[in-house]
A and B are shown apart, each in its own frame.
Chain A
């Protein structure tokens, strides 16, 4: 993946390409295997219900965090650098949800020699409900 986006080519208000993933145990179990996150609420419906989720087991917030990185990486390319990300987990990722990661540029600035872009980001479920609102700051390469 070469450089995909240059600082000069983006503007405030631009929406970046969405990144979509349907999730279930196949995705959660793989993530549990690498993050050592074998927690009952993510594996077992009864435990999920005991934790207050009537639909049973539910997905990891950390995996949605990774999906947001994937969206930004896919858009910005390997020459960009993630500087900061901040999210709140507002709703649960239920089994078989289709998650859509979104991003919209809200600020551009050059600071300490870095070309920084700030984006509002989110993960929406198939009903359009906001599950993970937040922001990210990325340093983009320049054409100069």
Chain B
């Protein structure tokens, strides 16, 4: 939406956006999770401290109730797809009204942990939209749900994330 058009807009909910509500994406399947993926993730989120052994020391991890290495709960097995998302390629220009977005927050529910060798399947859908006029002007809240299962069909994680458009 152009800045001029958005200035006069009374809604950011386009017909295309409305049509996408509650339409689930085709399943996306991760590459198999590798021990190295888990270790590097843990190093990054603990940097510069040494991360907990449960994420990188198999001998220790076997002594826990998990029986082996597990990934941090917030681990993302979908990072680094071979085919790059097009929307990340360009440096963003200064954005106008109705083109700016913020990460508003998220709610996640966890099932079984992710382990080395797991292959995770994800589906997502826009599940809710709310619009109001506040301190940012006309503001749209988009709620997107994501559901992950593993190769055994076990529930791994669900997330509802809030994207704010203003």
Contacts and interface: CB of A to CB of B under 8 A. Distances in A.
Interface residues of A, number: 40
B72 interface: yes
A85 interface: yes
Contacts of B52: 1, 73, 78
Contact of A50 (B44, B95, B106, B108): B95
B109 A83 contact: yes
Contacts of B76: 34-36
Given A27-B47, A69-B72, A84-B109, A1 B92 contact: no
A84 B158 CA distance: 9
B73 A82 contact: yes
Contacts of B88: 38-39
B107 A66 contact: no
A70 interface: yes
A52 B100 contact: yes
24 contacts: A1-B52, A26-B47, A27-B44, A33-B40, A34-B44, A35-B41, A35-B76, A37-B79, A39-B88, A51-B92, A65-B74, A69-B74, A78-B54, A78-B65, A82-B110, A83-B110, A84-B109, A86-B105, A86-B108, A87-B105, A88-B105, A89-B102, A89-B104, A89-B105
